Structure 1
Amino acid sequence: MRRVYEPGSLMEAELLLAMLDSEGIAAHLSGRDLVGGMGELPAMGLLGVCVDNEHAEAARQLIAEYNAALPMFSEEPDSYPGVLLC
């Protein structure tokens, strides 16, 4: 297995694992059990998304595309009737 990405949070890691799984790439998250000790451990480099060597390049490409994606803007009004603006 090869480490292809270091997510910034457990939530980001779970999203990436689900995305890779939906593309047929089995992935493993290393360091998941270390997140609970972040108060005493350095915060960076604990988590790592790992995939089989043959899928490493495809996984890196998918993660790069995910990180480069921009949010889709919908046509929502600036305000809604009956909503208190603070």
Structure 2
Amino acid sequence: MDLGGGVGWIGTLFIGALAGIIADKVMKTNHGLLMNIVIGIVGSYIGAFLANALGIQLGEIFSGWFWGNLIVAAVGAVVLIWLLRLVRGR
């Protein structure tokens, strides 16, 4: 069992929900809990892609995996909502 790398599916749902809620508040949108989880999970992939592309290693900055994953997922979720607004319009 690898506690540092993979968070498991329950951890993924929890971090996704928190990241979606944070992105909801930052972008001043109003999605439901289920949509927040989806936005947070998809946002975590976007955030991880952006962090890797920029060479950012949050695991070295933050001692725990939770905070690094949450920050990456929240930033990715904000980017996702921004991109959706850009495509669909306000």
| Pairwise same-fold verdict (TM > 0.5) | no
Structure of greater Rg: 1
